[in-house]
Amino acid sequence: MEKKLVTSIEIGHNKIVTLIGEIYNNNIKIIGIGKNESKGINKTGIYDLESIKHCIEKSINKAEIMSKKKIKSAYLSISHEKIKCHNEIGIIPVSGKEIQKQDIKNVIYSAKSIKINDEHIMLHVIPQEYSIDKRSGIKNPIGLSGMRMKGKVHLITCHKEIYKNIKKSIEKCKIKVKKLIFSGIASSEAVLTKEEKKFGVCMIDIGSNSIDLSIYYNGYTIYNHVIPYASELVTNDIAYAFSISYKKAEKIKINHGCTTVPILEKIKNNNILDSNGKIIKNITIQRLIDVIEPRYIELLNIVKQKIIKIQKKIYKYTGKEIEIKRGIVITGGGSKIKFLKNCAKKIFLTKVRIAIPKNIKDKNKKIYDPIYSTSVGILKYVKKNNKFKKKKKNNNFIKNIFEKINKWIIK
Residue with the larger pLDDT of the pair 262 and 280: 280
Q: Residue 265's domain spans which residues? A: 193-354
pLDDT in tens, 47-82: 999 999 999 999 999 999 999 999 999 999 999 999
Same domain, 132 and 258: no
> How many Å apart are CA 268 and CA 333, to the nearest integer?
25
pLDDT band at 313 (very low <50, low <70, confident <90, very high): confident
Same domain, 207 and 335: yes
| Residue 393 falls inside a structural domain | no
Q: Rounded mean pLDDT of 233-262?
A: 90
Res. 269: pLDDT tops 70? no
Confidence at residue 26, expressed as pLDDT on a 0 to 100 scale: 78
Confidence at residue 363, expressed as pLDDT on a 0 to 100 scale: 64
> In 3D, which of 19, 306, 328, 378 has the Cα closest to residue 192?
328
Same domain, 146 and 247: no
Confidence at residue 359, expressed as pLDDT on a 0 to 100 scale: 82
Confidence at residue 410, expressed as pLDDT on a 0 to 100 scale: 45
Q: Rounded mean pLDDT of 33-57?
A: 92
| Residue 347 falls inside a structural domain | yes
Q: Quote the pTM value.
A: 0.88
Same domain, 258 and 334: yes
Same domain, 246 and 345: yes
Residue 264: CATH number of its domain? 3.30.420.40
> How many Å apart are CA 397 and CA 394, to the nearest integer?
6
Confidence at residue 275, expressed as pLDDT on a 0 to 100 scale: 67
pLDDT in tens, 372-411: 999 999 999 999 988 655 444 455 554 555 555 554 444 4
Residue 105: CATH number of its domain? 3.30.1490.110
Residues 299-302: contacts with CB within 8 Å, 24+ apart?
299/206, 299/211, 299/227, 299/229, 299/230, 299/233, 300/343, 300/344, 300/347, 300/348, 301/347, 302/211, 302/227
Q: For the chain, how many structural domains are there in total?
A: 2
> In 3D, which of 233, 231, 227 has the Cα closest to residue 302?
227
The DSSP letter of residue 333 is G
Confidence at residue 279, expressed as pLDDT on a 0 to 100 scale: 78
| Residue 168 falls inside a structural domain | no
